[in-house]
């Protein structure tokens, strides 16, 4: 038996004696009042001890609940991390695919631009060639027109001379 148990037993015995005095209606001494106070304190101490046990049980239950909740939060965080990783991978894959498609489109645009440039040059060269050919034809036609005009002028001169000869010949015959 511990000293606390001996003290508790002594107070309990003394308290029973004081309670008999109270029941019998006897006057209580100062020592009796002290025993009542010690009995009251012993009751309060028991209540505090029980309350402490209940608090300890609640604290332990709260600790277990906290651990369970913490474990659930950790599991949820792991799931969130897994979803985040999955989404990041999907976004990266989509981003890479978009970059690849943009690069392909840019290459096609560059190829079309080069083709249009080449076609423009070829068309420009053909236009220049046609223009040069037309210029040569126009020059040739202008030369032919000039030659024809000279021939016409020569014919006019010849006809003028023939007319003069005929008129002189007709005037000389009339005379």
Express each pLDDT in 2-17 by its tens digit. 777 787 777 888 888 8
Residue 71: pLDDT above 90? yes
Cα angle value 57/59/63 (rounded, 5°): 115
Is residue 28 within 8 A of residue 21, CB to CB? The reply is yes
Per-residue confidence (pLDDT) for residue 36, from 0 to 100 = 82
| pLDDT, greater one: 18 or 158 | 158
Are the beta carbons of 11 and 35 closer than 8 angstroms? yes
Which pLDDT value is given to residue 72?
95
Distance CA 84, CA 57 (A): 39
Instruction: Write the pLDDT tens digit of every residue in 77-104.
Output: 999 999 999 999 999 999 999 999 999 9
**Closest C-alpha among 62, 19, 61, 64 to residue 38:** 19
Which one is predicted more confidently, 140 or 18?
A: 140
Average pLDDT over every residue of 121-131 = 93
What pLDDT is attached to residue 12? Answer: 82
Predicted TM-score (pTM) of the model is 0.44
The pLDDT, as a whole number, for residue 169 is: 76
36/22 Cα distance (integer angstroms):
11
CA atoms within 13 A on the CB side of 163: 6
């Amino acid at each position: 038996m511990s000293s606390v148990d001996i003290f508790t037993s002594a107070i309990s015995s003394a308290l029973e004696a004081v309670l008999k005095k109270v029941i019998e209606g006897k006057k209580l001494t100062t020592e009796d009042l002290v025993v009542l106070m010690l009995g009251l304190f012993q009751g309060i101490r028991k209540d505090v001890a029980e309350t402490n046990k209940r608090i300890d049980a609640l604290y332990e239950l709260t600790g277990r609940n906290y651990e369970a909740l913490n474990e659930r939060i950790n599991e949820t965080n792991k799931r969130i991390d897994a979803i985040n990783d999955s989404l990041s991978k999907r976004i990266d894959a989509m981003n890479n695919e978009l970059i690849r498609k943009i690069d392909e489109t840019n290459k096609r645009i560059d190829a079309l631009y080069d083709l249009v440039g080449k076609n423009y040059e070829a068309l420009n060269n053909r236009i220049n060639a046609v223009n040069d050919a037309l210029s040569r034809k126009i020059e040739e036609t202008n030369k032919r027109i000039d030659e024809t005009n000279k021939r016409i002028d020569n014919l006019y001169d010849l006809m003028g001379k023939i007319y003069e000869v005929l008129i002189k010949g007709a005037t000389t015959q009339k005379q």
